């Protein structure tokens, strides 16, 4: 039997009764009156391999109840695989759902892929101008720690977005500082000598960089990406929370740099176009590969899992180096 807990219950029930199996089944049902009937019915079908009896989709609440039951009756391994299709359908669904319940369900069912996906979605739902997303309410003792980790994850994502934007904007701010203003073909802080100028003509300031910077900053403002004051005006009708981490990441991914021709730049220009392009591309790439939520194997390892995780994600460099050092040492020992 897939569940040691059911096994024990049935064994006791049979010992108490020498009549029919149905009696022991009835005694078993009576002994778990607090369990949800629908969830128990589905779990029983899964454990009896009655896949034809399983619904195509189930509401988040029911999936959560099944997860709790699978945990309670210690049959997560047997129940887990059958639940993947329901996670998948919920993930594809456009309905507004309680994401935290699904994160919990994925955690309880040890479902690594959808744990990463739904925890990322939860982080994406965090409002950008309320600095911290409040800690979700755990429904089991097993998920208290998880709730804290997830709230922390949303807070980190929020901070990272601000830092990323500042880094991207920085090349555009430089040409406006007095330190970098310059006359055409003259280094910053230097003024053209009178003999280098045509008769009666005043010296001309170089505007290549500041024109480019103005264009880029304007484009970011038009796209409601920057400055952060535009986030307050953005109405995310889906959740009424204004700009969220997810909606801003989407806007940044879709942002296209406006055309700007800087062939007229002199050798003292700062190269705003190159700087802005590089930072934009770096940020879009880092956002694309980043795991915004949590990795189940890393959570279970209490930090960063040193081995391979079921959900592929980048890990902090220091851990990668340490892990390869450990592997190298092990390989060396084996060779000796
Ligand atoms: Zn210049
Ligand atoms: Zn991991």
CA of 163 to the centre of ligand 2 (A): 24
Predicted confidence at residue 182, as pLDDT, reads 94
What does the pLDDT read at residue 336?
42
For ligand 1, the distance from its centroid to the CA atom of residue 256, given in whole angstroms, is 25
Per-residue pLDDT at 21: 46
d(CA 126, CA 209): 36
Burial of 306 (0-12, 13-18, 19+ CB in 10 A): middle
Per-residue pLDDT of the chain (336 residues; tens, 9 = 90+): 667 776 666 666 655 444 444 444 445 554 566 788 899 999 989 988 888 889 999 999 999 999 999 999 999 998 888 999 999 999 999 998 999 999 999 999 999 999 999 999 999 998 887 656 688 999 998 899 999 999 999 999 999 999 999 999 999 999 999 999 999 999 998 988 888 888 778 888 999 999 999 999 999 999 999 998 888 766 554 455 678 999 999 999 999 999 999 999 999 998 899 999 999 999 999 999 999 999 999 999 999 999 999 999 998 877 666 667 766 666 655 544
Q: HSE-up of 144 (CA within 13 Å, CB side)? A: 2
Ligand 1 centroid, distance to 150 Cα (angstroms): 48
* CB 289, CB 111: distance < 8 Å: no
User: What's the pLDDT at 67?
Assistant: 95
pLDDT value of residue 135: 87
Contact 272, 212 (CB under 8 A): yes
Ligand number nearest CA of 210 is 1
Integer Cα distance of 8 and 315 in angstroms: 42
Measured in angstroms, how far is the CA atom of residue 201 from the centroid of ligand 1? 18
CB–CB of 79/96 below 8 Å?
A: no
- Angle CA 286–287–288, to nearest 5: 90
| C-alpha of residue 55 to centroid of ligand 2, in Å | 31
Cα torsion at 295, 301, 304, 306 (round to 10°)?
A: -110
Q: Are 305 and 295 in contact (CB under 8 A)?
A: yes
User: How far does the centroid of ligand 1 lie from the alpha carbon of residue 275, in Å?
Assistant: 15
| C-alpha closest to that of 70 among 36, 101, 100 | 36
Terminal-residue alpha carbon distance, the chain: 46
Ligand 1 centroid to residue 262 C-alpha, Å? 10
Q: What angle do CA 125, 126, 130 make, to 5 degrees?
A: 150
Ligand 2 centroid to Cα of residue 307, in Å, is 8
* Predicted local confidence at residue 18, as pLDDT: 44
Ligand with smallest separation from the Cα of 302: 2
Cα–ligand 1 centroid distance for 293 (angstroms) = 44
């Amino acid at each position: 039997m897939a569940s040691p807990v059911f096994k024990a219950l049935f064994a006791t029930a049979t010992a108490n009764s020498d009549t029919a199996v149905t009696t022991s089944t009835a005694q078993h049902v009576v002994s778990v009156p607090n369990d949800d009937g629908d969830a128990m019915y589905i779990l029983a079908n899964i454990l009896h391999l009655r896949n034809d009896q399983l619904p195509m989709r189930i509401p988040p609440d029911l999936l959560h109840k099944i997860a709790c039951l699978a945990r309670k009756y210690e049959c997560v391994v047997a129940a887990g695989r059958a639940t993947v299709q329901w996670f998948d359908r919920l993930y594809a669904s456009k309905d507004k759902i309680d994401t935290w319940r699904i994160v919990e369900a994925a955690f309880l069912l040890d479902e690594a892929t959808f744990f990463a996906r739904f925890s990322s979605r939860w982080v994406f739902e965090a409002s950008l101008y309320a600095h911290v997303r409040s800690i979700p309410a755990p429904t089991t003792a097993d998920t208290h720690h998880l709730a804290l980790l997830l709230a922390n994850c949303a807070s980190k994502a929020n901070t990272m977005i601000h830092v990323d934007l500042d880094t991207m904007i920085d090349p555009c701010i430089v040409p406006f500082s007095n330190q970098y203003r310059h006359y055409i073909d003259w280094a910053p802080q230097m003024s053209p000598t009178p003999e280098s100028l045509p008769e009666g003509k005043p010296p001309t300031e170089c505007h290549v960089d500041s024109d480019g910077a103005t264009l880029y900053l304007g484009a970011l403002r038009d796209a409601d990406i920057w400055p952060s004051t535009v986030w307050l005006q953005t109405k995310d009708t889906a959740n009424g929370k204004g700009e969220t981490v997810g909606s801003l990441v989407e806007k940044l991914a879709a942002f296209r740099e406006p055309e700007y021709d800087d062939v007229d730049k002199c050798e003292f220009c700062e190269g705003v176009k190159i700087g802005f392009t590089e930072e934009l591309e770096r940020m879009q790439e880092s956002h694309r590969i980043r795991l915004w939520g949590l990795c189940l194997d890393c959570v279970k390892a209490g930090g960063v899992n040193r081995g391979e995780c079921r959900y592929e994600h980048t890990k902090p460099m220091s851990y990668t180096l340490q892990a390869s050092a450990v592997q190298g040492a092990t390989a060396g020992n084996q060779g000796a």
